[in-house]
Amino acid sequence: MRSGRELLVHLRGGGRRIVRELSGFGLVGGCCFVLDLVLFQLLYARLGVDAVAAKALTTLTTTTVAFAGHRLITYRGRSRARPGRGYLLFAAVNGATLLLGLAIIGFVRHGLGQEDALVLQAANLASIAAGTAVRFVVYRRWVFPETVPG
């Protein structure tokens, strides 16, 4: 059983760790967001790649960069075992949160009949927030699990 002092030290350490992970998560996500915008502009506007194909290429690229960034920065102190499995799970989570975002926007546009750009942008922001929260929790728990001392 831990003493009060040991518990406090443990909680402080955990608090610092979650702040570091949240910071890394935001840094990696922000960089990938900018990378997505730049690559899409390059592929679509400069090189003439079809918009859907350009978006598919940027999504594949930024998903891979995000996985590497989270593995090396956000969750650097966690298990490095089975990166192939981790990447597949990472991609599945991103796909699921994409579908969640599409469902939110689709519900507001078609289910509620909203056409106003401001309302749809608010729905878009809500979908981004929901997806980000889900990704942070799932990455932390299952994609980049803590190493169990053994």
pLDDT tens profile 87-117: 899 999 999 998 998 899 899 999 999 988 8
Q: What is the pLDDT of residues 4-54, one digit of tens each?
A: 565 455 556 667 888 999 999 999 999 999 998 999 999 999 999 998 888
> Residue 112: its pLDDT value, please?
95
Rounded mean pLDDT of 69-76? 92
Position 88 scores a pLDDT of: 92
Buried b (16+ CB within 10 A) or exposed e, 64-101: ebbbebbbebbbeebeeeeeeebbebbbebbeebeeeb
Distance CA 41, CA 21 (A): 30
- The pLDDT value given to residue 149: 59
Residue 130 predicted with pLDDT over 60: yes
The structure's pTM equals: 0.73
